[in-house]
Amino acid sequence: MNASVAPTAPIRVLIADDHALVREGLRYVLDADPGIEVVGEASNGRTAVDLALQHVPDVVVLDITMPEESGLKAAARLREALPDTRVLLLSMHDQGEYVREGMRIGTHGYLLKDSAGEELRAAIRAVHAGGTFFSPAVVRRLTSTEVVSEGAPAAQLDLLTPRERDVLAGVARGLTNKAIAAELGISRRTVEAHRESLMRKLQIHSVAGLTRFALETGIITDA
C-alpha cells in the first residue's frame, strides 16, 4: 500500500492596496487558487507591515502608491524585519525608477495592475519558490529605455561560455540556482560559480539587468 502524501500547505499571502475594490478583486483572484491563502488585507503601507509582523506571510503583495506609508517604504521595512518573506510590488506604473528602487530594496518582483489573474498567481508562486517575476511590459520598458552596459550586447555575449549562457537564460526566466542546477544536470555550487562569472564578465549585477541583456541578445524571447 502506498503511503499517503501529506497535503502541501497553501502559500500565505498578505495584500495591501488603498482601494477597497482593488483589494476585493485581488482576493477574488487569489481565492480561486486552492494553493494560495489570503491571511490579511491592508489599506496602507504602515498597516501592511504591522499585519505582516503579526501573520508572517510567505508573500506580501504591495501596491506602490498608498497613503501614510508608500509600498516602497513598507517594502524596505519588511525586507529588514522579515527577510524570509517575499515581496511582490504591484503598480499601475511601469516607470523604470520604481522598478530600480524596488530592486535596490531587495523586492522579488514587479507586477502591473492590468495583468491577468493567472499572471498574479504565477508571480506569487514564482517568488514563493525563490525566483523573481517581472511583468513582460516592465521588462520591455526597461529594455527600450536603458542601456545595459557599455559595448554592444552581441559582443558581450561572445564573452560567455555555452554553460554560462544556459545559466543566464535560467536566471532571466526567474529560476532559482537550485532549479537551474536541476534543469542543467549540474550542482548548485557550479551554477553559482557560472552566475558569478557571467555577472563579472557582463558587469551586470541585478536580475532585471540580466533579463534585459537576455532579451536584447535573444537568449530568451519573453520574460
pLDDT grade for 148, boundaries at 50, 70 and 90 = very low
Contact 71, 65 (CB under 8 A): yes
CA 141 to mean position of chain CA atoms = 16
CATH 1.10.10.10 domain span(s) along the chain: 153-217
pTM: 0.66
Query: Could you tell me which residues come within 8 angstroms of residue 107 by beta carbon, excluding any fewer than 6 positions away?
Result: 62, 75, 79, 87, 88, 89
Domain 11-143, second-level architecture: 3-Layer(aba) Sandwich (3.40)
Which CATH number is 153-217's, of 1.10.1040.10, 1.10.10.10, 1.10.287.1080, 3.40.190.90? 1.10.10.10
Side chain identity at 139, as an amino acid letter?
V
pLDDT in tens, 180-212: 999 999 998 999 888 888 888 888 877 777 887
Question: Per the structure block, which three cell numbers stand in for 171?
Answer: 536566471
Q: Where do you find CATH 3.40.50.2300 in the chain?
A: 11-143
For the stretch 13-28, pLDDT in tens is: 999 999 999 999 999 9
